Amino acid sequence: MYATICTPLFGFFGLGTQEIMLLLVLGVLLFGRNLPSLGRSLGKTVTEFKRGVKGLEDDMEPTAAGGTTTRTVDPEPVRPPQRVTSSAPKFEDAPPKA
């Protein structure tokens, strides 16, 4: 059963069962201590990707009436310009000592 699953997945790369097992062993040897954190970060990445795709699908999905939904964003009110005071110290030229 393992060969029937891996053949379509890795057949494109020309990897056989032995090569896959060797890569798995090398991966465990190199990343053994970091595998839990790698798995966690991979899971978070996949979850965020799915949320992003779901958000795009929701934005592109037509409403029941047949039209598309448009969201309007209220612009920020215009604020008057702010005065910026310099906070750098001012140095005065001291007369050279003779």
Domain contains 95: no
Q: Which domain holds residue 24?
A: 2-57
pTM: 0.38
pLDDT of residue 10: 57
Q: Are 58 and 44 in contact (CB under 8 A)?
A: no
Give me the sign of the Cα torsion angle 75, 77, 80, 85.
Answer: negative
Domain contains 71: no
Q: Count the domains in the chain.
A: 1
Domain contains 33: yes
pLDDT per 10-residue tile (average), the chain, 98 residues: 55 81 88 85 92 83 58 80 70 68
pLDDT of residue 82: 80
Tell me the helices (H) and strands (E) count for the chain, helix number first: 3, 0
Domain contains 31: yes
pLDDT of residue 74: 80
pLDDT of residue 12: 63
